[in-house]
A and B are shown apart, each in its own frame.
Chain A
């Protein structure tokens, strides 16, 4: 952020450094913050400096060999990059920004992280504690502003508080249902010395916050009884499986019981797509069989998912016949949407481990075949049309081809809209933590910074951002971050010159009245080149395969723009607020 107080700040720094020589050897609040990050094993942070966070950036300067900092181009980019990093690596993402606009620019990623359960620690500068509440330069009440959208927040006004608060912050962010924590760090607390020697003790439990990890035995037994009695059981698993690292436990459970299962959007890649019990994913634009069969099952086993309205449609008509087992770490999610007969409060990994010996071996071949019969219908009505190779290139064929070329092993980061749904439908995931999307909040502009963050979190993996032309322009400046980092982030723009999903709705539900959805786009490749990122445009089907190869073979960041069919619709579709039985295939 631009800084009008630079001269004053410099003087303060001089005074501070003069004091250093006379006062004892205790660390400053800012130095203590760096030590806390090291103690928590943080090796990458994403941020943007400014007036109220300068003492911390000054301290960081002595730690740059141990804590790698990425300078983003906008604080929103820092937040989404930290999310991408956290989602791919399972670690806590850390952002460092200044007060006022620095903090408010971070609100969207914080809101995104709370709804998608992403562990973040956001360190936000704040004006000197003596200036709090005076409308000082770049002062925003970050505690007030972030309270509704974060898991926890705290204002540090005394350097001695830093170790204890940061230990709590990292514990709260990562444990239970993960989420974003905001630390509002007053400038004088950054600059002032602690009055005691720095010591750091990791927090593992708190009196007021102690999420249950291991479920109660009686809940497990009740769930097992219900599962064992089921004639047509059906598993819906979500993001919780990935967060709990319960992929193997889920596979073991499914293979023993032979229960068919489906994923939510954010649960994608928790189970390999080619597993015989995997039926696809469900939701508004999910697959036909997984959606429709929610009306046919007798026992629904929900694992690490929360019956979001994009999954259930009209929740009163969602699986009304089913008895529900709900494995969930957050007690407030149980019965929030659906009456639950057997709630299991705890971590998905622990719950599945405990359930495993109690459930009996099963064979549900006949029941699974009912799913497969519906798949044929979807293939005929939707998939064939999406992949028919007629007319302009369609989004689906780009994703399907990318899936083949990467053997389903790339980490795919998507933005929000039609391209997101098509990617979820046509990429054949083989590896976990491979689908990174803004699911709950639906934040356009997520993918460029999140792809970058994912590449930082998994430098050895192929990371491909699949992005719409509208989304791309929301955080286009982060191309600069990618270029400066030198990381080989691959990006594909599926360009239809429309805000495609809104256009689809206007076509289907608003009588073709296209209200402000057509875009006059810039020359994306020229822009990328201006930032120092190579790329090219592909508009002909015969060049598509070579174009993808060229992008994947690049050792540096690369942007491939694919011009796709302008007015293609995504099906199946469960119109908002209706039941899954009203699903449309065309």
Chain B
């Protein structure tokens, strides 16, 4: 199984999430993570969708099917080595009065994670990184007692010097999609 990151640029309109995800459903492809936000250009949304698949050709077909949706402006498919990507995770860690205290220095220096909230008998730690880095930290912090753990979907930018948004038309130009 290879991990693919699919970036979809769309007009910001109601119901579009459904129009995109339904294409994955129809082809029986499971979505590992999905993140949507507005881009640096107003009115244009960016979907970052992570999937695992065995066949590159099937992913190419999927990319072309997504491109076919009327409101979709462009679709880019990437392998992990083509992108810089991260996720963010929040850990709510139990810190009872008599319990083991968290080692903030190790957390900061070794794991590059930060305590972002101090509660009465818990702390919230924010960890940004790849899935592997987050799970390494997960393993480290687990003995303290995880009350709650949440991880975001992946966000990614390409390693090319230009921004993807440069591929989007001001007006009408010819479109390409890359994989």
Q: Which residue among A205, A208, A332, A336 has the maximum number of chain B CB atoms within 10 Å of its CB?
A: A208
User: Is B68 an interface residue, CB under 8 A from the partner?
Assistant: yes
User: Is B151 an interface residue, CB under 8 A from the partner?
Assistant: no
Annotate B1-25 by CB proximity to A: 1 below 8 A, 0 otherwise. Answer: 0000000001100110011001000
Q: Which among B22, B57, B64 is the interface contact of A332 at CB below 8 angstroms?
A: B64
Contacts of B65 in A (CB 8 A): 332
Output the nearest chain A residue to B68 by Cβ-Cβ distance.
Answer: A332
Q: Which among A144, A152, A208 is the interface contact of B18 at CB below 8 angstroms?
A: A144
A207-B73 in contact (CB<8A):
yes
B169-A207 in contact (CB<8A):
yes
A147-B73 in contact (CB<8A):
no
- How far is B72's CA from A221's CA once the two chains are assembled, in angstroms? 30
B40 to chain A, nearest CB (A): 17
User: Is A516 an interface residue, CB under 8 A from the partner?
Assistant: no
User: Is A148 an interface residue, CB under 8 A from the partner?
Assistant: yes
Contacts of A331 in B (CB 8 A): 64, 67
Q: Which among B19, B57, B61, B172 is the interface contact of A147 at CB below 8 angstroms?
A: B19
User: Is B97 an interface residue, CB under 8 A from the partner?
Assistant: no
Annotate A147-158 by CB proximity to B: 1 below 8 A, 0 otherwise. Answer: 110011101000
A124 to chain B, nearest CB (A): 15
Output the nearest chain A residue to B26 by Cβ-Cβ distance.
Answer: A148
A208-B61 in contact (CB<8A):
no
User: Is A210 an interface residue, CB under 8 A from the partner?
Assistant: yes
B72-A208 in contact (CB<8A):
yes
User: Is A359 an interface residue, CB under 8 A from the partner?
Assistant: no
B68-A330 in contact (CB<8A):
yes
Contacts of A148 in B (CB 8 A): 22, 26
Contacts of A207 in B (CB 8 A): 11, 73, 169, 171-172
User: Is A509 an interface residue, CB under 8 A from the partner?
Assistant: no
Q: Which residue among A143, A155, A205, A207 has the maximum number of chain B CB atoms within 10 Å of its CB?
A: A207
Contacts of B57 in A (CB 8 A): 335
State how many residues of chain B have any CB contact under 8 Å with chain A: 24
A172-B172 in contact (CB<8A):
no
From known contacts A331-B64, A336-B61, infer whether A151 and B70 are also in contact, taking CB-CB under 8 Å.
Answer: yes
A332-B61 in contact (CB<8A):
yes
Contacts of B169 in A (CB 8 A): 207
Contacts of A153 in B (CB 8 A): 15
From known contacts A147-B22, A148-B22, infer whether A332 and B67 are also in contact, taking CB-CB under 8 Å.
Answer: yes
- How far is B38's CA from A274's CA once the two chains are assembled, in angstroms? 58
Contacts of B14 in A (CB 8 A): 155
Annotate A161-185 by CB proximity to B: 1 below 8 A, 0 otherwise. Answer: 0000000000010000000000000
- How far is B71's CA from A153's CA once the two chains are assembled, in angstroms? 11
From known contacts A331-B64, A332-B61, A332-B65, infer whether A209 and B70 are also in contact, taking CB-CB under 8 Å.
Answer: yes
Output the nearest chain B residue to A153 by Cβ-Cβ distance.
Answer: B15
User: Is B175 an interface residue, CB under 8 A from the partner?
Assistant: yes
- How far is B99's CA from A188's CA once the two chains are assembled, in angstroms? 62
A161 to chain B, nearest CB (A): 12
Interface residues of A in 26-79 (CB under 8 A from B): none
- How far is B174's CA from A335's CA once the two chains are assembled, in angstroms? 20
A170 to chain B, nearest CB (A): 13
A568 to chain B, nearest CB (A): 37
Annotate B55-92 by CB proximity to A: 1 below 8 A, 0 otherwise. Answer: 00100110011011011110000000000000000000
- How far is B71's CA from A206's CA once the two chains are assembled, in angstroms? 9
Interface residues of B in 165-179 (CB under 8 A from A): 169, 171-172, 174-175
State how many residues of chain A have any CB contact under 8 Å with chain B: 21
A149 to chain B, nearest CB (A): 10
Output the nearest chain B residue to A151 by Cβ-Cβ distance.
Answer: B70
Contacts of A210 in B (CB 8 A): 172, 175
Contacts of A330 in B (CB 8 A): 68
Q: Which among A172, A208, A335, A336 is the interface contact of B11 at CB below 8 angstroms?
A: A208
Annotate A207-226 by CB proximity to B: 1 below 8 A, 0 otherwise. Answer: 11110100000000000000
B27 to chain A, nearest CB (A): 12
Contacts of A335 in B (CB 8 A): 57, 60-61
Q: Which among B19, B26, B60, B70 is the interface contact of A208 at CB below 8 angstroms?
A: B70
- How far is B26's CA from A147's CA once the two chains are assembled, in angstroms? 12
Contacts of B19 in A (CB 8 A): 147
A147-B18 in contact (CB<8A):
yes
B22-A208 in contact (CB<8A):
no
Contacts of A209 in B (CB 8 A): 70
- How far is B172's CA from A208's CA once the two chains are assembled, in angstroms? 8
Contacts of A155 in B (CB 8 A): 14
- How far is B65's CA from A148's CA once the two chains are assembled, in angstroms? 12
- How far is B22's CA from A205's CA once the two chains are assembled, in angstroms? 26
B64-A208 in contact (CB<8A):
no
A208-B68 in contact (CB<8A):
no
Output the nearest chain A residue to B66 by Cβ-Cβ distance.
Answer: A332
Output the nearest chain B residue to A181 by Cβ-Cβ distance.
Answer: B70
- How far is B9's CA from A208's CA once the two chains are assembled, in angstroms? 10
- How far is B10's CA from A434's CA once the two chains are assembled, in angstroms? 40
- How far is B73's CA from A155's CA once the two chains are assembled, in angstroms? 20
B22 to chain A, nearest CB (A): 5
B73 to chain A, nearest CB (A): 5
A152-B15 in contact (CB<8A):
no
Contacts of A205 in B (CB 8 A): 172
B10-A208 in contact (CB<8A):
yes
Output the nearest chain B residue to A204 by Cβ-Cβ distance.
Answer: B172
Q: Which residue among A148, A331, A332, A336 has the maximum number of chain B CB atoms within 10 Å of its CB?
A: A332
From known contacts A143-B15, A147-B15, A148-B26, infer whether A172 and B70 are also in contact, taking CB-CB under 8 Å.
Answer: yes
- How far is B15's CA from A336's CA once the two chains are assembled, in angstroms? 26
Contacts of B72 in A (CB 8 A): 208
A352 to chain B, nearest CB (A): 22
B112 to chain A, nearest CB (A): 39
- How far is B61's CA from A212's CA once the two chains are assembled, in angstroms? 18
B141 to chain A, nearest CB (A): 41
Contacts of B64 in A (CB 8 A): 331-332, 336
Output the nearest chain A residue to B13 by Cβ-Cβ distance.
Answer: A154
Output the nearest chain A residue to B61 by Cβ-Cβ distance.
Answer: A336
Contacts of B22 in A (CB 8 A): 147-148
Output the nearest chain A residue to B169 by Cβ-Cβ distance.
Answer: A207
List 9 A-B pairs, Cβ < 8 Å.
A206-B70, A207-B73, A208-B70, A210-B175, A330-B68, A332-B67, A332-B68, A335-B57, A335-B60
9 additional A-B residue pairs with CB within 8 Å, beyond A206-B70, A207-B172, A208-B70? A147-B15, A152-B70, A207-B171, A208-B11, A331-B64, A331-B67, A332-B64, A332-B65, A332-B68
Using CB atoms and an 8 Å cutoff, list the residues of chain A in contact with chain B: 143-144, 147-148, 151-153, 155, 172, 205-210, 212, 330-332, 335-336
Please list the 9 inter-chain residue pairs (A to B) with the smallest Cβ-Cβ separation, ordered nearest first: A332-B64, A152-B70, A209-B70, A208-B73, A332-B68, A205-B172, A143-B15, A208-B71, A210-B172
